[in-house]
């Protein structure tokens, strides 16, 4: 498969992930005065569904990373070409920012629109539960590591064929159910960047953590996954 087609698949997949996941948080988590919103559980499911559906839709083209941490974790696991990592990450961030812009435009049309947190990730005062930096870093590191272990195992040639997107989507749902109160759940630097650039400047000031911790956790998880399952040729 040609690199431009792979990059377009990564752009589209990341766009849908951010627009669907963050869109559910911004537009549907709370709605009206009758408790009609989807709340944490609904947002968690939305993120999982976006990955599941787009992994089936375009995963056969690019591998369905949609996440810079996943790309680098799969490089560490021996499952991705290191030369593709830079272009993949650029495409993922571009897709995320495009989705953030589309979401901002739609959300801003609502009467009485107030930007609020705009589904950004944060710690301290920007954490939904006011969790400190150390807790946020540990959460993002550990859960991204777990995510990569699931991805590497589910995509192993020894795993049941055709079910990897389901396992990966459910894993992302579980990760959100655990960590939304802590960091609003990133495990994806592109997802964090895509909404932070349109939100309050304070979110940009904390964005570094949501690059460093997920990438470190992904590399760690990728190495564990490789030890358990082997690299691309094993």
pLDDT tens track for 72-114: 999 999 999 999 999 999 999 999 999 999 999 999 999 988 8
Domain range annotation of the chain: 3-111+119-226
Task: Note the pLDDT of residue 234.
Answer: 46
Calculate what percentage of the chain has a pLDDT beyond 70.
97
Region 159-170 average pLDDT: 95
Q: What is the pLDDT of residues 56-77, one digit of tens each?
A: 999 999 999 999 999 999 999 9
Distance CA 16, CA 166 (A): 17
Q: 34-37: long-range contacts (C-beta < 8 A, 24 or more apart)?
A: none
Region 211-219 average pLDDT: 98
Q: Calculate ∠ Cα 175-167-160, nearest 5°.
A: 155
Distance CA 220, CA 53 (A): 26
Residue 35's pLDDT band (boundaries 50, 70, 90)? Answer: confident
Residue with tokens 């020894």: 158
For residue 232, pLDDT beyond 70: no
Per CATH, the architecture of 3-111+119-226 is what?
Answer: Up-down Bundle (1.20)
Closest CA to 94 of 214, 193, 215: 193
Judge contact between 144 and 218, C-beta under 8 A. Answer: yes
pTM of the model: 0.95
Task: Note the pLDDT of residue 99.
Answer: 98
For residue 115, pLDDT beyond 90: no
Backbone angles phi, psi at 162, to 5 degrees: 90, -5
Q: What is the pLDDT of residues 129-158, one digit of tens each?
A: 999 999 999 999 999 999 999 999 999 999
Distance CA 14, CA 204 (A): 19
Residue 233's pLDDT band (boundaries 50, 70, 90)? Answer: very low
Q: What is the pLDDT of residues 186-211, one digit of tens each?
A: 999 999 999 999 998 999 999 999 99
């Amino acid at each position: 498969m040609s690199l431009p087609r792979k990059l377009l698949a990564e752009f589209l997949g990341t766009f849908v992930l951010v627009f669907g996941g963050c869109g559910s948080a911004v537009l549907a988590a709370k709605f009206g005065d009758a408790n009609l919103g989807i709340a944490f559980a609904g947002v968690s499911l939305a993120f999982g569904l976006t990955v599941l559906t787009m992994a089936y839709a375009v995963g056969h083209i690019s591998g369905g990373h949609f996440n810079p941490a996943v790309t680098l974790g799969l490089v560490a696991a021996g499952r991705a070409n290191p030369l593709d990592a830079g272009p993949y990450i650029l495409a993922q961030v571009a897709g995320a920012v495009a989705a953030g812009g589309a979401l901002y435009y739609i959300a801003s049309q609502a009467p009485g629109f107030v930007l609020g947190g705009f589904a950004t990730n944060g710690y301290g005062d920007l954490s939904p539960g006011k969790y400190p930096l150390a807790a946020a870093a540990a959460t993002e590191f550990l859960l991204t590591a777990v995510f990569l272990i699931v991805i590497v195992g589910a995509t192993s040639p020894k795993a049941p064929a055709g079910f990897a997107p389901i396992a990966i989507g459910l894993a992302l749902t579980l990760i959100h159910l655990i960590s939304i109160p802590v960091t609003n759940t990133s495990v994806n630097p592109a997802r964090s960047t895509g909404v932070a650039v349109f939100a309050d400047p304070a979110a940009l000031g904390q964005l570094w953590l949501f690059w460093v911790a997920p990438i470190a956790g992904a590399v760690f998880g990728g190495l564990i996954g490789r030890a358990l399952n082997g690299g691309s040729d094993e």
